[in-house]
Chains A and B, each alone.
Chain A
Amino acid sequence: MRTCDDRGVTEYRRAFRPADRRLVAGVSAGLADHLGVPVVAVRVAFVVASWFNGAGAIAYLLLWRFMPLAAPELSPGLESATRRGLRTSSRLPIREIVQALCLAAVGLGVFVALQASGRGIAGPVLAPIVIGLVGVAVIWRQFDDASLGRWMRQTSGLAFAARVAVGILLVAVAAVYVITQDRGWGAIADMGVAVVAALIGAALILGPWLFKLVGDLDEERRERVRSQERADVAAHLHDSVLQTLALLQKNPGDAAQVATLARRQERELRSWLYGTDNTIGDRFAAAVRATAVEVEDDHRIPVEAVVVGDTSMDPDVTALVRAAREAMVNAAKHSGADRIDVYAETDGRSAEVFVRDRGAGFDPERIADDRMGVKGSIIGRVERHGGTARIRSTPGEGTEVALTVPIRQAEQVTEERVGHD
């Protein structure tokens, strides 16, 4: 149910600061996600870099400014459940907080030792820088929070004013300190430094706010488009619920029909409310799910599909899905079972599908050559694409069809695309 403009617009990956997993600003967590490394490694890197004239702290502040904050995007059902307090969103594990605090303590210790040995930043400059940085961090954190409604509630009114005031005060103290340090420079230089410091202070306080304003406008526009899309889908969905209810009233006696209708409606609602599994798209997982849905609708039997991993479709994978469909149809038609389990898995090297029922079963030795369904469209189809098909069945216990095809590398596929299914 996601629209196609979700894909395509941003092909490159962007780093975000996750709003729900941050200790200070979320820079480390965001970088760890982006680079695929443990978050603790990123934190260590920042701390170590800070020993060298505070490079780590500066990098952190810069990234803080330029990495956008991202609240997790949830499905409509989860978003609503969160708003109504029906679920607890994940908290940061205590262990991670303690770990970060220890790391900060060690970092500070080494930093102080460096200072003491005289190899750090010159003493008179250090104090105003530290105070200034803390002030900036306090204000920025405030701006971050203000952009998120739920955080805003906690930090409005007095707390808000107090934090901004503290930030301004700290920056001002830093500025005054810097200016009074340089008495020897003469009045004109003093004035100049004071003006520059004041300008920097103002930029620090107002800059993020202006920056934020532009970002918020953008965000607001996207949010509006999204909520309109959702409203459309909701309208369509409610319409289909009405249809289903009308059909149920018409056929109250047909148990199978009622069950099928109820199940289909449940599936639609569920996937809208909680789903990330859409059945649209040119991917293996989506294709397996869509096939299961089709068989379920056509043959009025529940088909439970579980898919692990995903890959793009190529002729081999397409053949696999078609063969699996054939197996599902066979199970639906002949097994007499009350449900079919489908499990599909891919690790990028091969793709497998298992179709299982607990129905009548049959003797696999006795698949007559004329049973084209099994021989041709399941076994033959998969084997033509370099895969294997295994059918296990015991009369009275049920049947399981296991299908595997290897996944070829992209260039091989294009070469052999002339091949067919």
Chain B
Amino acid sequence: MTELRVAIVDDHAMFRTGVRAEIADAVDVVGEAEDVDGAVKLVEELAPDVVLLDVHMPGGGGIEVIRRAHPRHADTKFLALSVSDAAEDVIGVIRAGARGYVTKNISGVELVDAITRVAAGDAVFSPRLAGFVLDAFAGTIEVAQVDEDLDRLTEREREVMRLIARGYAYKEVAKELFISIKTVETHVSSVLRKLQLSSRHELTRWANDRRLI
């Protein structure tokens, strides 16, 4: 198996060095960038498999990088890696096109696992992100009001999200629900798709309400 080509984008040099040291054994770190313009250039020139992307960065943040680089380089996957737990930014970067979100205190092994998963086209949901998603899609809405399937999670997807929020790894979710890991991955990817495409107005309203509580 060829090594995955990974780029690290973060405005803190010390953090980039730390991450590089942690993952360099398992993947090929091809480049680093510290702002939006640098990151877009990096993606265009090197076309890495996975970009580890900070949410907050000079020039408009991770969302801007994905907006500019993603349409032309669909093969490059983005994994948000951030210290910000602000729900609106996490959901924002996912909606822009990131395949997952992990916090910066993740261990090296877990990070490499997440990178591999994202590179394979799957989605990576941390317990916290799963919690945000359940929150965002919660609330009972009239079936008649739902114009698209995108606006709600299926019962199965909800179960998978709840188990992830409870701290279960994909493997454990599969065992718990008597389904294959592949099926778990399918469910998670489908939730990611809904999160990205749903036009449900509750989703934006939810993000807004959170600030006012």
Chain A contact residues, CB within 8 Å of chain B: 18, 21, 32-33, 38-39, 72-75, 77-78, 81, 84-88, 90, 93, 95, 266, 270, 273-276, 304, 306-309, 341, 343, 345, 347, 354, 356, 400
Smallest CB-CB separation from A84: which chain B residue?
Answer: B58
With beta carbons under 8 angstroms apart, the residue of B11, B162, B168 that contacts A345 is B162
Q: Which of B45-88 contact A (CB under 8 A)?
A: 55-61, 63-64, 67, 83-88
Residues of chain A contacted by B55 (CB below 8 angstroms): 87
The answer to whether A306 and B127 touch across the interface, beta carbons within 8 angstroms, is yes
- In the complex, the chain A residue whose C-beta lies closest to that of B83 is A270
B134 and A308 contact, CB distance less than 8 A: yes
Chain A residues whose C-beta falls within 8 Å of the C-beta of B86 in the assembled complex: 75, 77-78, 274, 276
Are A308 and B138 CB-contacts (below 8 A) given A86-B57, A93-B199? yes
A309 and B56 form a contact (CB under 8 A) = no
Partner among A38, A85, A309, A345 whose Cβ is within 8 Å of the Cβ of B60: A85
Give the residue name and chain of the A residue nearest to B131 (CB).
A306
Residues of A within 8 Å of B168, CB to CB, are 356
B131 and A274 contact, CB distance less than 8 A:
no
Q: How far is the CB of B13 from chain A (nearest CB, A)?
A: 16
Per-residue interface assignment for chain B, residues 176 to 213, with 1 indicating a CB less than 8 Å from any chain A CB and 0 otherwise = 00000000000000000000000101001101101111
Q: A274-B85, A356-B166 are in contact. Are A81 and B56 (CB under 8 A)?
A: yes
By beta carbon, the residue of chain A nearest B140 is: A347
Instruction: Say yes or no for B114: interface residue by CB 8 A criterion.
Output: no
Known contacts A86-B57, A88-B61, A88-B63; is-contact A78 B89 (Cβ 8 Å): yes
Does any Cβ of A come within 8 Å of B3's Cβ? no
In angstroms, Cα B87 to Cα A74, docked, is 11
Complex A-B, nearest 6 residue pairs according to Cβ-Cβ distance, in ascending order: A341-B167, A306-B131, A87-B61, A86-B56, A343-B166, A274-B86
Render B23-61 as a binary contact track against A, CB cut-off 8 A, 1 for contact.
000000000000000000000000000000001111111
In the assembled complex, the Cα of A400 lies from the Cα of B166 at a distance in Å of 9
Contacts A81-B56, A306-B130; is A90 near B204 (CB within 8 Å)?
A: yes
- Is B85 within 8 A of A309, CB to CB? no
- Cβ-defined contact, B138 with A347, below 8 A: yes
* Residue of chain B at shortest CB distance from A269: B83
Residues in A whose Cβ lies below 8 Å from that of B56: 81, 86-87
- B-side contacts of A84, CB under 8 Å: 58
Contact A356 B84 (CB under 8 A): no
- Asked whether A72 lies within 8 Å of B211 as measured between CB atoms, the reply is yes
Q: Which of A18, A21, A81 has the most C-beta atoms of chain B within 10 angstroms of its own C-beta?
A: A81
A343 contacts B165, CB within 8 Å? yes
A84 to B61 alpha-carbon distance, docked (Å): 10
CB distance from A396 to the nearest CB of B (A): 14
Q: Does B113 contact A (CB under 8 A)?
A: no
For the complex formed, measure the closest distance between the CB of A247 and the CB atoms of chain B, giving whole angstroms. 20
Question: Do residues B134 and A87 form an inter-chain contact, with CB atoms below 8 A?
Answer: no
Assess the A275–B57 pair: CB atoms within 8 A.
no
A39, B199: Cα distance in complex, Å: 12
- Given the complex of chains A and B, what is the CA–CA distance between A73 and B135 in angstroms? 20
In the complex, which of the residues B55, B201, B205 has the most CB atoms of chain A within 10 Å of its own CB atom?
B201
Instruction: Report the bound CA distance from A316 to B84 in whole Å.
Output: 34
**9 A–B contacts, CB within 8 A, in A order:** A18-B208, A33-B208, A77-B86, A85-B59, A86-B60, A87-B89, A95-B199, A308-B138, A356-B166
